[in-house]
Amino acid sequence: MNDTNKADVLLGLQWGDEGKGKIVDVLTPHYKMVARFQGGPNAGHTLVFEDKKYILHTIPSGIFHKGCLNVVGNGVVLDPFIINKELDQLNIPDEELQESLFVCGKAHLILPSHRLMDAAIENKKGKLKIGSTLKGIGPAYTDKVARTGLRLSDTATPEFDEKYDRLKQEHLRIAKDLGYDLRELVLDGLPFDDYEKAWFSGLERLKALPRIQSEVFVNEALDKGARVLAEGAQGTLLDIDFGSYPYVTSSNTITAGACVGLGVAPSRIGEVFGVFKAYCTRVGSGPFPTEILDADGDRLRDEGHEYGSTTGRPRRCGWLDLPALKYAVMINGVSRLIMTKADVLNSMEKIRVCVAYKVDGESHDVVPLSAGQQDMEPIYEELRGWNRPLDDIHTFEALPQELLDYVAVIEDFVKVPVDIISVGADRKEILIRKGAGILQRLSVV
Ligand code: GDP
Ligand code: IMO
Ligand code: MG
């Protein structure tokens, strides 16, 4: 066994949409395997190259690199309807996918009726809505934990149809009890019965993909010395345990989630790359201390094209929250930071950054768990913006001094180096710091 070879993890440090997909795509040439470990079609990871844009929901972001093995781990929840659509979008021949996309049989299925349940439960919550993507994530994970769910491997058993029908009937009964009218439901533009038919044909395509046990597949690859990158979905502040509960998703989005969602021991985790935006966004409900509710917020949304990759909803925008970032670094054991969307702040004359919160007249520099947003006032430091475009800059070191000062403030606060800055959506718009630790890890010095 190759004990020294460890899997690296890349994940989001905020409320999702930090640009994880883009960064995984950039780093993939240095890895043999890219593996998703949690979440499902609630994720929307955007990749831009050769003037084309792709949005991936379940399929790992290494898929466009020939020779990379892409793994969908046991911790992911699978919607065959959505995966089928994703596969169509990729435009990669099925024979090639047989060599590059591997799905764990232990991964749970999102049934069409899980989506119905998601809608019924959200609907019932009224003002307390989480703002779920309504992809059936919560109900599918609920069935997993309740031991009533269906795994991909169950599809090979003679009892599958019966089990499927039993679970569906149970969901329909609960949805009806919640007062939800099935006839009102349209899923991705289709009435329930049509959606279900398309779901089953998607299932046939999913079943035809190479099936693995992710724990065996990934550990054997590590034993053979392969470089493995685990790709997180959502963000740390949406984690089921450490996020702003109940305004969270239903999985562990943190580094520990990679262990559980792939079957890799904690001692086999290597570097942890934490991705964060140069500001903050959140889509859906829940506390967001640094949210900007005036014209500056609209400006960030416009400049950053902050509309959900999965749902198209406008994202709430705000300033960078350093205590929250520090918390995320701690929970994940982040060893290298990657800052994205620095270019979105190009036209800001002043940039604010939250360094503490005031709660009941007292200053706190850790996220106060008990406080709601209304009781929490962010304390800001104001920095000078660089107020110029970055298109002509080709090295990290040549970035404007004001931007380097911004980076220094962040590093000083969280005590982890920023190794990479992303300055545009395209794969090529990336600046890696000279001598950065990440270069040694990727062996590109
Ligand atoms: P993910 O879910 O973390 O993969 O992020 P999303 O893809 O949902 O959202 C990030 C958005 O920002 C996408 O539209 C990306 O194409 C885009 N993006 C990523 N990095 C940058 C960057 O450095 N600058 C700009 N302007 N856009 C970026
Ligand atoms: P990526 O991987 C941003 C949010 C939803 C909602 C909450 C619960 O693209 O970063 P769910 O559908 O899981 O029941 O929704 O979590 N959410 C995301 N926000 N990016 C995501 O994924 C998200 N996945 C879920 O908006 O507030
Ligand atoms: Mg996203």
The answer to whether residue 360 is catalytic is no
Q: Residue 257 above 80 pLDDT?
A: yes
What is the SS3 assignment for 256? helix
Instruction: Please give the CATH topology (third level) of the domain spanning 108-208.
Output: Adenylosuccinate Synthetase, subunit A; domain 2 (1.10.300)
Instruction: Give me the helices (H) in 355-420, please.
Output: 401-414
Q: What is the pLDDT of residue 371?
A: 58
Q: Residue 358 above 50 pLDDT?
A: yes
Q: What is the pLDDT of residue 374?
A: 65
Instruction: Please give the CATH topology (third level) of the domain spanning 3-74+213-442.
Output: Adenylosuccinate Synthetase; Chain A, domain 3 (3.90.170)
What's the gap in Å between 278 CA and the centre of ligand 1? 11
Under 8 Å between Cβ of 328 and 18: no
Domains of the chain, residue spans: 3-74+213-442, 108-208
Q: 182 or 365: whose pLDDT is higher? A: 365
Span 388-416, average pLDDT: 98
The answer to whether residue 114 is catalytic is no
Atom in ligand 2 nearest the alpha carbon of residue 138: 14
What's the gap in Å between 281 CA and the centre of ligand 3? 11
Q: What is the pLDDT of residue 445?
A: 45
Q: Kindly report, residue by residue over 74-113, the tens digit of the pLDDT.
A: 999 999 999 999 999 999 999 999 999 999 999 999 999 9
Where do the DSSP E strands lie in 105-260? 108-109, 186-187, 190-191, 211-212, 228-231
CA distance 176 to 258: 36
Band of the pLDDT at 412, cuts 50, 70, 90?
Answer: very high
**39 DSSP assignment:** B
CB 22 near ligand 1, within 6 Å: yes
Under 8 Å between Cβ of 320 and 411: no
CB 344 near ligand 1, within 6 Å: yes
Band of the pLDDT at 369, cuts 50, 70, 90?
Answer: low
Selected catalytic residue, list 8, 17, 79, 143 = 17
Q: What is the pLDDT of residue 30?
A: 97
Mean pLDDT of the chain: 95
Radius of gyration of the CA atoms of the chain, in A: 22
CB 18 near ligand 1, within 6 Å: yes
Nearest protein CA to atom 3 of ligand 2, as residue: 16
Closest ligand (CA of 20)? 1
Inter-axis angle of helices 80-90 and 192-207, nearest 10: 60
Q: What is the pLDDT of residue 1?
A: 63
Q: For ligand 2, which residues put their CB under 6 angstroms from it?
A: 12, 15-17, 39, 42-45, 130-133, 135, 137-138, 233-235, 238, 249, 283-284, 309
Residues 6+ apart with CB under 8 A from 399: 342, 386, 390, 393, 421, 431
CA distances from 345 to 168, 383, 384, 408, 418 (A): 48, 12, 11, 16, 17
Where do the DSSP E strands lie in 26-123? 33-36, 45-49, 52-56, 69-72, 77-78, 101-104, 108-109
Q: Kindly report, residue by residue over 206-237, the tens digit of the pLDDT.
A: 999 999 999 999 999 999 999 999 999 999 99
Nearest protein CA to atom 2 of ligand 1, as residue: 17
Q: Are strands 101-104 and 211-212 parallel, antiparallel or unpaired?
A: parallel
Q: Kindly report, residue by residue over 29-73, the tens digit of the pLDDT.
A: 999 999 999 999 999 999 999 999 999 999 999 999 999 999 999
Q: 400 or 179: whose pLDDT is higher? A: 400
What's the gap in Å between 397 CA and the centre of ligand 2? 34
Q: Kindly report, residue by residue over 371-401, the tens digit of the pLDDT.
A: 566 678 999 999 999 999 999 999 999 999 9
Under 8 Å between Cβ of 94 and 100: no
Q: 179 or 109: whose pLDDT is higher? A: 109
CB 12 near ligand 1, within 6 Å: yes
pTM for this one? 0.97
